[in-house]
Structure 1
Amino acid sequence: MKNNNILSLLTVLSAGLILNACKLPVISIKDTNISLPLFYTGTATTDTSLAGTIAWRKYFNDPFLISLIDTALQNNQELRIILQEIEVGKNEVKARRGEYLPFVNAGFTTGFEKSGQYTRNGAVEEALEIKEGHKFPKPLPDVLLAANASWELDVWKKLRNAKKSAVLSYLASIEGKNFMVTQLVSEIASAYYELQTFDNLLNILNSSIEIQSNTLSVIRKEKDAAKVSQLAVNRFEAQLLNTQNLQYSIRQQIVETENRIHFLSGKYLSKIQRSVMTDNPLLPEPFTAGIPSQLLQNRPDLKQAALELEASKLNIEVAKANFYPSFRLTAGLGFQSFNPVFLLSPASVLYNLAGDITMPVINRNAIQAIYQNASAKQIQAVYNYERAILKAYIEVLNQLNGIDNYTKSYQTKEREVNILSNSIAISNNLYRAARADYAEVLLTQKEAIESKIDLNEIQLKQKLTKLNLYKSLGGGWN
C-alpha cells in the first residue's frame, strides 16, 4: 500500500512538472501598421503606370553609360559578395529541409576485446562456450556491419517552420541583391553625370579664359597708351589667373570621379568614355510616379523587409515548439559476429527499434531566452518595415518636388546667364567708348562666369533628381 502511495505521488509530481514545462512565457507580438497615403502630396492622380518598372537599359539612352553599368554588374566585388550570401541562404534551405527527413547512417567497424579473468565478462567467457565445442577467443574479435536511422517526428511543425523561415530569408537575400543592383546602377549613373558636368565646366572655363585673355590684351594696350594704370592690368591679369586656377581643381575631381567608377566597375584604370552633356531630358515622356502603394510591390528593399518580417513570425513558432515534447524514432539493422566468416549468417542479424519522448522540465532559461529574443526580433522587423515604407514615400516625394523646383531654377538661371553673357559685350563696348570703367568690365565677366557655373550645377541636380526618382520608384534592378 505504501509503495502505491509513493507511485501515485511521483505520478502527480511528474504530471505537474510536465504541465509547468509546457507553460509559455508571455511575449509581445506586434502587427504591421501600413498607412500609406492614397496619393503623393501635391498630386491626385489615379494613373497607376509606374516609371520604376522601366528596365534600366531602356531608361538610359547613352550607350557609354549602359556599357559602364554592364561592366559593373559583372565585376563589382560587393555585388559578388552578396551573390555568395544568396548561395549561403540556398544551402540553409537545403539544410532545414533535411532536418525533418529521416537520417540514415551506414558503417562498418571491427575490433577486439580482452576481459579480465576475475570480472563479470571474464567469468562469463570462462563458463560458457561461444559455439558448441569452442571457447571464447582471447581476445574476442568483433565485426559489425550495420545501418542506423533516426527520425524526429515534426509534430509541432518546428522543423517545417524553420525550413519556411529559411526560404523566406533566402528570398529576402535575393531582394537584397536586387536593391544592391539598384544602388549600383544609380551610383554609376550619378558618377557618369558628374563627369559630364565637369567636362562642361572645363569648356565654360576655357571660353571664359579666352574672353579674359582678349580683354587683358586690350587693357595692356590701354596701359601702354597711358589710358589706364598698372592697377587695371593687375586686376584683369589676377582675374585671368584665378579662372585658370579653377581648372586644376576640376581636373582633380574628374580623376577622382573616374576612379570611383573604376572601383564600382571592379576594374583598374581605363579611359572612361562619355558623351557630351545635353539639355535633353533624362526622363522618358511621359514619366509617371504612380501611387504610393505600388512601392510595396516594386521596391526591392521593401519586399526584402516584408519577407524578413514574415520569417521573424515563423521564428517565433519555431522557438515556441522548443517548450513542447519532441518525439524521435531510432532503428538499426545489421550483422555482428566475432568472426568475419559468420558475419553474413542469418544468426548474426541484429536489429533494434526504439521511440523516445523528451522535453525540458527544469532550468529552461535558454529556451525562454530564445523565445523572447524571437519576439523582440519580430517587433524589430515590424519597425524596420514601417520605417522602410516611410523612407521610400519621403524619397519619392522629395524627388518629385525636386524635379519641379530645379526645372524652374534652371529656367530662371538660364535667363540670368543670357543677360550676363550679353552684358560682357556691352561692357566692353561701353569701356571702349569711355562710358564705363574697367571695374564694371571685371565685375560683369566675373558674374557671367559664376552664373554659367551655377547653371551647370543646376543641370546636374536636375539629372540626379530624375535619376533618384527612378531609383526611389524601384527602378534599376530589372
Structure 2
Amino acid sequence: MNNKIKNTTSILIGVLALLSFYSCVPTQNAIREENKTVPENYKNELRDTLNTATVQWKKFFLDSKLVALINTAITNNQELNIMLQQIAMANNEIQVRKGEYLPFVNVYAGSEVGKVGKYTRNGAVEQNLNIREDQKFPEPLADFSVGLSASWELDIWKKLRNGKKAAVLEYLSTIEGKNFMVTNLVSEIANSYYELLALDNQLIIIEQNLEIQQNALKMVKLQKQAARATQLAVRRFEAEVYKNQSNKFAIQQSIVETENKINLLLGRYPETIDRDSGNFLETPIDFVHAGIPSQLLANRPDIRRAEYELEASKLDVKVAKANFYPSIGINTGVGLQAFQLKFLMSTPESLLYSLVGDVVSPLINRNAIKAAYKNANSRQLQAIFAYEKAILNAYIEVANELSNINNLKENYKLKEQQVNALTESIALSIRLFKSARAEYTEVLLTQREALDSKIEIIETKKDQFLANIKIYQTLGGGWN
C-alpha cells in the first residue's frame, strides 16, 4: 500500500514538474514606464492653482439662450446617445467577466430510449441480467435523469479576476469618452452660436454700408448732372453697390448653414435659432484662469480615458501571461437516474454523483499563446505612447490658446482705432468730394476700407469668443 502511495506521489510530482517546465513564460525585455511629468507652469503665466475648468458650463456661459441650446443638445444629440449605449455595453461586459470566475451551476433533466446489439458486451450483459426474480432487463432500455451539475475554474493565477478588472477600467474609459464628447459638443455649439452672432452683425454692417453707398451714388449722379462728375464715377459707384448687395446674399446663406449646423447638433430638423445678436461688440469676455499644467491630468477627459486604457492594457498583459500556466478545474454533479420513472425517486439506488478535478496546461501549440502575449505587450506600449501624447497635446493646446487670447486682445484694440479712423474718413471724403477737393476714387476707397475694417473687427471679436471657449475646453471644462 505504501509503495502504491509512493508511486502515485512520484508520478504526480513528475507531472507537475513537466507542467511547470512547459509553463515557463517568455518575458518582455523592457516595459516602458509612462512619463507623467509636465512643466510647472505655462509660459509667461503666473503659477496659480485657480482653474476655470472646474466651473460648470452652465455658469461659464452667461447667455441664457446658448445654455438652452446646449441643454437640448445633451439630451437629443444622436452621437452622444450612441456613446451612452456604448457605456451600457461596457457595463454589461463587467458582469460577463465577473461571471467567468464564479461557479457555473446548471440544472438538467432528460430522457432517452435505446437498444444495444445483442452481440456486444452490453448486450450480452443485459441478456443474462435479472433485475428482480423472474424480471429480465427491459428491451428497449429507457433512461430518465434529473439533477444538478457544476463546473468551476480555480482562478489561482488571477487570470479571470484581472480580466474583470480590465473590463471595469474599459467601462471607466468609455465614461471618460462620453465626457470628452460632451466637452466637444458644448464647445462646438458655443462656437457655432457665436459664429451666428458674428454673421448677424456682419449683415447689419453690410446693410448700413449699402445705405451709405446708395446715398453716395445719388450724390454722384447729381454731380454728373451738374457736370462736376463723369459717367465713369457713376458706374464705379453702382458697381460697388452691386458688390455689397451680392455679399449680403452670401452672408444670408452662411447664416442658414450655421443655423442648420446647430440644429443638427441638437438632433432636430431645421428651424430658426433663438438668439440675441445685439451688443455683440460690446459684450465683455470673461478672464480665464489656466491653473497649473499638472491639473490637466485630472481635468481633461481624454487624458483620463488614455490613463484607464493604459491600466487596462497592463492587466491584459497579466491575463495573456496567465495563459501559460496550468488551468485547474472542478466538475461535480448530483442527481437521480433510472430506466423507469417509478424507480427514479428510489434512493439510494437511483442516486448518482460525481466529482472530477483536472489540470490542463498548454503543451504543443504554444506559439499562439506566445503571439497573444507579445501582442498584449505591444498594445501596452501603444497605450503608454497614447497616454503621453494626450498629455503633451493638452499642454500644447493650452499654451497655444493662452498666447492666442493675449494676441487677439491687442489685435482688437488696434482694430477699434482703425474702425474709428475710417468711419470718420467716410464723412470727410464725401465733404471733400462735394467741394471738388477729392476724387471720387478716394470716396470709394474710403468706404471700402471702412466696410472691411468693420467686418474684420467683428471677426476679431468672434475669434476672441472662440478662443475663450477653446481655452475652457482645452483646460478640461465643459463636461461636468
1:279 to 257, 265, 282: 282
Report if the CA contact (8 A) 1:60-1:282 is conserved: no
- Residues 324-357 of structure 1: CA deviation (Å, up to 9, x unaligned): 1111111001000111111122121110001111
Cα displacement (A) at 1:367: 1.0
Q: For residues 14 and 146 of structure 1, what CA distance do their matches in structure 2 show?
A: 34
Residues 1:142 and 2:150 aligned together:
no
Identity over the aligned pairs, expressed in percent?
51
- 1:236 paired residue number: 237
Checking the alignment, whether the CA contact within 8 Å between 2:260 and 2:271 is kept in structure 1 is no
Q: CA RMSD in A?
A: 1.8
Q: Residues of 1 paired with 2:473 and 2:132: CA distance? A: 83
With 127-136 and 257-266 compared, the bigger mean Cα shift is at 127-136
Q: CA deviation at 1:282?
A: 3.4
- Would the alpha carbon gap of residues 429 and 361 (structure 1) be closer, same or farther in structure 2, given more than 3 Å must change? same
The Cα of 1:300 is off from its aligned counterpart by 0.7
User: Which of 357, 377, 380 pairs up with 2:379?
Assistant: 377
Aligned twin of 2:214: 213
Question: Which AA in structure 2 matches 1:279?
Answer: E
Please list the CA deviations of residues 201-232 of structure 1 after superposition, one character each: whole Å capped at 9, or x if unmatched: 00010000000000000001111122111100
Q: Within 5 A, what are the aligned runs for 1:245-284?
A: 245-276=246-277, 277-283=280-286
**Paired position in structure 2 for 1:223:** 224
Aligned equivalent of 1:3:
none
**Equivalent position amino acid for 1:462 in 2:** Q
Partner Cα separation in structure 2 for residue 172 and residue 8 of structure 1? 49
Q: Provide the residue aligned with 1:313 in structure 2.
A: 314
Q: 2:368 aligns with which of 366, 374, 384?
A: 366
TM-score, structure 1 normalization = 0.96
Partner of 1:95: 96
Aligned-partner Cα distance in 2 for 1:29–1:134: 74
Kindly report which structure 2 residues correspond to 1:372-411, keeping only aligned pairs within 5 A, or say none.
Answer: 372-411=374-413
Q: Is the 8 A contact 2:281 2:458 kept in 1?
A: no
Other-structure match for 1:413: 415
CA deviation after TM superposition for structure 1 residue 18, in Å: 2.5
Letter in 2 for 1:89: A
The structure 1 residue matched to 2:436, chosen from 434, 437, 440, is 434
Match of 1:36 in 2: 38
Give the Cα–Cα distance (whole angstroms) in 2 for the partners of residues 410 and 67 of structure 1.
Answer: 29
What residue in structure 1 maps to residue 4 of structure 2?
none
Which residue of structure 2 lines up, in the alignment, with residue 329 of structure 1? Answer: 330
SS of structure 1 residue aligned to 2:113: strand
The residue identity in structure 1 corresponding to 2:127 is: E
- TM-score normalised to the size of structure 2? 0.95
Tell me the distance in 2 between the aligned counterparts of 1:190 and 1:8. Answer: 76
2:273 maps to a residue whose letter is I
Match of 2:116 in 1: 115
Structure 1 pair 110/10, CA: closer, same or farther in 2 (3 Å)?
A: closer
Shift of 1:17: 4.5
Q: The residue matched to 1:137 in structure 2 has which SS?
A: coil
DSSP-derived class of the 1:360 partner: coil
1:112 is paired with a residue whose SS is: strand
Q: Secondary structure in 1 aligned to 2:34?
A: coil
Q: Deviations over 1:289-341 (max 9, x none)?
A: 10000000111111111111111101111111000111111100100011111
- Match in the other structure for 2:106: 105
1:23-42 CA deviation, whole Å, 9 max, x = no partner? 11232422001220000011
- Evaluate the alpha carbon distance shift between residue 11 and residue 106 of structure 1 in structure 2; reply closer, same or farther with a 3 A threshold: closer
Question: Partners of 2:428 and 2:399 in 1: how far apart?
Answer: 44
Q: Which runs of 4+ in 1 moved over 2 A?
A: 7-20, 130-133, 277-283
Tell me: CA distance 1:146–1:12, structure 2 relative to 1, closer, same or farther (3 Å). closer
Cα deviation, 1:59-93, whole Å, max 9, x if unaligned, reads 11111111111111111111011101101110000
| Offset from partner CA, 1:160-214 (integer Å, 9 cap, x none) | 1111110011011101100000000001111101100100000010000000000
